Structure 1
Amino acid sequence: MSIEEMDLPERFGEPPERVAGAVRTLLGMGLLQKHDSSPGTLTVVSPDSAELNIVGPVTRRVAEMQGAVDQIRIELSGLADLYRKGIIHRLRQEGVETIRNLADVRARLEELAAGVKREVLTSQPGGARPEEVLGEAMVRTEAALARGVVMRTIYQHTAQFSQATLAFVEQMTAMGAEIRTIGDAFSRLIVFDREVAFIELWDAPQGAALVRDPSVVHFMVESFERAWVQASAFPLAVGRREAIAVSDAVKSDIIRMMIAGEDDKAIARRMGMSVRTCQRHINEIMTRIGARNRVQAGYLLRTLDLSGANGPFRAEG
C-alpha cells in the first residue's frame, strides 16, 4: 500500500511537524519506504518484513560481538592459567629451592652454618661417613658450637664401628654436641634454627632441596624429635658390652625388615652397611633360629616374633 506524504497531515488530522516526525521514525524502523522515482510517495512495509530487515543486521552484529567476547574469554582463560602457574612457581621457589650441584649444596650449607644462631638438628643415615665429609662437617660444627649453638645429630647404629666417625663424635661431644644412634627409622636431614631445612633430592642424591616453608620445616623437626627419643647415646668407646648391644639392635632391625619381605640389598641400604655384612647378619639370624633358607626364616620370624626386646638378640649383661 502506497500513500502520498503530503496527504498525511490532512488524513490523520495532525500538524505537519508531528506527522513529519512520525514519518522519520517509521522510515528509520523500516515500516515505511520511499520510492526512488517518486520521493513523495511512501510505501507501507509489513512489520514482519521490517523485523527481518532491521533485526537481521543487529542479530549478526550481536553474534559477531558474542564471538569476540568468547574469544576474549578464551584468551583471558589462557592467561589466567599462566598467571596461576606463575604464582605456584613463585611460591614453590620461595618455599622450596632445588639445588642439584654438590658444590652449590656445600656452599649453601657453609652460608647457613655461618649464620645459624640457636640450633642445628642433623640426621645422617648410611652408617659410617666418609672422612672427607666428616672433615668438612668438622669445620662448620666447631664454629657453630663455639658460638653456643645447640647441636644434635642422629647416626645409624652401624656408624659406631667407624673409627673416623668415632673420632669425629668424640671431638664434637667434647665441645658440647649431642649425638645418638638408631636403626633405620629416619632420613637425611639438616635443620637450621627450625627455619630452614636441607633434605635429599629423591632423584639426585648429590643434590638437595632447601625448604623454608614453616609448616614443612615444623613437620621435619617433629619427625627428628620422634627419632631422637627412640635413639640411644653414641658410645664413645665400643667395648664388648656395647658391641653386643649394637649387634643385637642391628639384628633386631634386620629381622623386622626380613619379616616385611625386604631383600638383602634393600636391608643393607637402609641399615647403612655393605651387602656382604648384611648377609653375614642374616646368616647368623638364620643359624640361631634353625632356618635352612630365607622362606623358612621368614616363617619362623613371623611365628616366633624375634624382633622385640625379649628376643634372642638382646644384649646380655
Structure 2
Amino acid sequence: MTDEPGQAERALYLAVVRGGGRLCPEHLAPADRPAFAALVARGLLTTTPTGWTAASPRALGDRLGSELRSRATRLLQHAERLPDALAPLALAYDAVRRPHGPDGDAVHLDGNADIRQHISELVSECQEEVLAAQPGPRPVDGLRMALAQDLSLLRRGCSLRTLYQPAALVDHTVQRQVALRTRQGARVRLLAEPYERLLVFDRKAAVIPAAEDRSRATVLTDPAVVAHLVAHFERDWARATPADHHLDPPHPTTVRVGRLLARGLTQRAVATRLGLSERTVAAHISRLRDRHGARTLFHLGWRLRGERRD
C-alpha cells in the first residue's frame, strides 16, 4: 500500500463525506469493496454501532508524516554510517587495484558504460579537486545522472572547475543543472574557442577521449603527462570568462534587443524602436555576445536567428 490514497479510495471517501460522513457496507457496490478495505486499513473509515463513519484525513497526514520523518531520519543515519561500514572493503580494493594498463601508464576504456563506471569511481575517490573541460553541447540527461555525485563531491570539500563553450549554456535546462552545482561552490567559466575534452582528478589521473565519437577513452596517470594536461587546462581557464551571468535570466530589455537583432534590425534601428540610446543598446548587445559566444554582430544575429528556429 502506498503512503497516499489512490484514485478509487479518494473517490469513495469523497462520496462518503458528501453523503453525510456515514457508510453502510451492505450498500457498497462490489467494485468499491477494495477501496473500502483500503480506507479502513488507513484509518480513514472507522467503525460505529450502525456502520462506518469518515475519519479526519488530518490525523492520517500527521501519522504518515511522523512515520516518513522517522524513516528519513533512519535513512540519513544509515547514510552516515555506510562509508565507515564499507571502509574495510574499500581498503582491500585499493590494496589490490591496478590503476595502470599493460604499458604502465594508461588504462584503455571501451564503451560508454565502461567509461561512465570508471569516471564514477574516480569522482568517488577524489579528495581535492576535479578539473573538467567540456566542449560542445552538454546532454541534459548526463548532467542529471551525474548531479548527485557532483554535489556529494562538493559537499565533502572538493573543488570542481568546469570549462564550457558559450553555446552549451544557451539551453535553459542545462543552465539550471549547472546552477545547481555552482550554488554548492562549483566554478564555471566559458571559453569561446576550440579545446579538447578533459577530466583531471586530484592532478593524478586524467581522462581523455580515444575516439572521435567518444566511445573509447584513456586514463593517464603518468605524472609528467598529467601535469602537461593540467597546464593546458589552467591556460584555457585563465583566458575564459566567469559564467555567472549566463546562469541568471537575461534582463527583459536584453531579450527584446536580441529579438530585434534576430529579425535583422541594425543597432541604430533597435535603439530607435525601443527608444534607447545606441550606447545602451551596444551594452545589451555586448551581454548577448558574451552569452552566445558570438565574435561579431553578424555572428550574433546568425546565432539568435538559429535559436528562434529551434
TM-score, length-scaled by structure 2: 0.50
Contact 1:200 1:209 (C-alpha < 8 Å) held by counterparts? yes
Q: Deviations over 1:162-221 (max 9, x none)?
A: 112110121111100000111123211110000001111134512211111111111110
Aligned mates of 1:91, 1:105 — CA distance in 2: 15
Q: Pick the aligned partner of 1:113 from 96, 105, 123.
A: 123
Contact 1:125 1:156 (C-alpha < 8 Å) held by counterparts? yes
Q: Deviations over 1:113-166 (max 9, x none)?
A: 110000000010003x11111012212211100110011000001122111211
Aligned mates of 2:147, 2:291 — CA distance in 1: 28
Partner of 1:60: none
Contact 1:173 1:179 (C-alpha < 8 Å) held by counterparts? yes
Partner of 1:198: 207
Q: Percent identity?
A: 28
Q: Deviations over 1:248-297 (max 9, x none)?
A: 74235998xxxxxxxxxxxxxxxxxxxxxx9935999xxxxxxxxxxxxx
Aligned mates of 1:224, 1:160 — CA distance in 2: 20
Matches within 5 A, 1:82-101: 93-101=103-111
Partner of 1:213: 222
Corresponding letter in the other structure for 1:153: T
Contact 2:199 2:206 (C-alpha < 8 Å) held by counterparts? yes
Number of aligned residue pairs: 172
Partner of 2:147: 138
Q: Pick the aligned partner of 1:245 from 289, 295, 300.
A: 289
Partner of 1:298: none
Contact 1:123 1:188 (C-alpha < 8 Å) held by counterparts? yes
Contact 2:170 2:292 (C-alpha < 8 Å) held by counterparts? no
Instruction: Call closer, same or farther: CA 1:117–1:248 in 2, change over 3 Å.
Output: closer
Contact 2:101 2:108 (C-alpha < 8 Å) held by counterparts? no
Contact 2:161 2:188 (C-alpha < 8 Å) held by counterparts? yes
Aligned mates of 2:107, 2:163 — CA distance in 1: 24
Stretches of structure 1 that go unaligned for 5 or more consecutive residues are 1-89, 256-277, 285-317
Partner of 1:280: 302
TM-score, length-scaled by structure 1: 0.49
Please state how far the C-alpha of 1:226 moved relative to its aligned partner.
0.6
Structure showing greater Rg: 1
Q: Deviations over 1:9-50 (max 9, x none)?
A: xxxxxxxxxxxxxxxxxxxxxxxxxxxxxxxxxxxxxxxxxx
Contact 1:125 1:184 (C-alpha < 8 Å) held by counterparts? no
| SS in structure 1 of the partner of residue 294 of structure 2 | helix
1:232 pairs with 2:238: no
Please identify runs of 4+ aligned residues in structure 1 that moved more than 6 A: none
Instruction: Call closer, same or farther: CA 1:137–1:282 in 2, change over 3 Å.
Output: closer
Partner of 1:124: 134
Corresponding letter in the other structure for 2:149: R
Please state how far the C-alpha of 1:246 moved relative to its aligned partner.
2.3
Q: Deviations over 1:64-104 (max 9, x none)?
A: xxxxxxxxxxxxxxxxxxxxxxxxxx876321111111101
Stretches of structure 2 that go unaligned for 5 or more consecutive residues are 1-99, 255-283
Partner of 1:164: 173
Instruction: Call closer, same or farther: CA 1:125–1:252 in 2, change over 3 Å.
Output: farther
Give the root-mean-square deviation of aligned CA atoms. Answer: 2.8
Contact 1:183 1:253 (C-alpha < 8 Å) held by counterparts? no
Matches within 5 A, 1:238-317: 238-239=249-250, 240=254, 241=284, 243-246=287-290, 249-252=293-296, 280-281=302-303
Corresponding letter in the other structure for 2:196: S
Instruction: Call closer, same or farther: CA 1:243–1:137 in 2, change over 3 Å.
Output: farther
1:102 pairs with 2:124: no
Partner of 2:156: 147
Instruction: Call closer, same or farther: CA 1:120–1:281 in 2, change over 3 Å.
Output: same
Corresponding letter in the other structure for 1:237: D
Corresponding letter in the other structure for 1:137: A
Partner of 2:192: 183
